[in-house]
Amino acid sequence: KVAAHHIDFHTFSAKAKIDFVSGNDSQQGISAYVRIQKDSAIWISVRPLLGIELARVLITPDSIRIINYFKKMVAVRSFGYLQQIVNILYDFSTLQDLIVGNPVYFSDSVSEVQQTPSVVSFVCTGNDYINRFNVFADFYLLQENKLTDTDSAHHRSCDLTYGDYKQIDSLQFPSRRKIFVSDKKVTQILIEFNKVDMNEPVSFPFPVSSRYLKE
């Protein structure tokens, strides 16, 4: 029943408002424009409250390219750079599932099923993680999943909550997300999506000025 709500898509585009707190760094009311070509590219344009583009990011399965318009710099990094920023070992496929609202690290290895009139909870276990899911008991839509690293030396966990579902075509899309990552530092992210489109043509413009410094 949970798998029946999997959001399958070819392309995805949306605007999102993001509040971000990590350690001493805090950003409120950021606008992000997101485009995805499934299994190929994730394109993000970041704009603060004033609306002037601050950065542009192009993520592929093996690399990340970043234009910092404020510092007039361009950088190319491995995908591992993103894993260091969010403190979670997400691969490209997991990241795109996270953005479109699919359960992450979801598998058939289900155990510890518990049911109440409002919530069904269960656990999926992998080699490196334990993932506890809560789903709404009426339609089996995601409410929360908490991913915990099985390596006790890391004490790393990520709590994802989903809400404010909106129907897009025949799909149920969770337009509000909360992400709470606990590792060496705590990272909190609130994302509110709007203007969501699926399976419409998308482009990934990434012009780089020859005057920008390369990092």
Report yes or no: 168 and 198 within 8 Å, Cβ to Cβ: yes
**What is the DSSP pairing of strand 73-78 with strand 213-214?**
parallel
Question: Does residue 96 register a pLDDT over 80?
Answer: yes
- Render pLDDT for 188-213 as a digit per residue (tens, 0 to 9): 999 999 889 999 999 999 998 888 88
pLDDT digits (tens, 9 = 90+) for 48-83: 866 788 899 999 998 999 999 989 999 998 877 776
**Confidence band of 87 (pLDDT split at 50, 70, 90):** low
pTM score of the predicted model: 0.88
Share of the chain above pLDDT 90, in %: 53
Helices (H), 9-76: none
For residue 175, the model assigns a pLDDT of: 96
Burial of 77 (0-12, 13-18, 19+ CB in 10 A): middle
95 CB neighbour count, 10 Å cutoff: 20
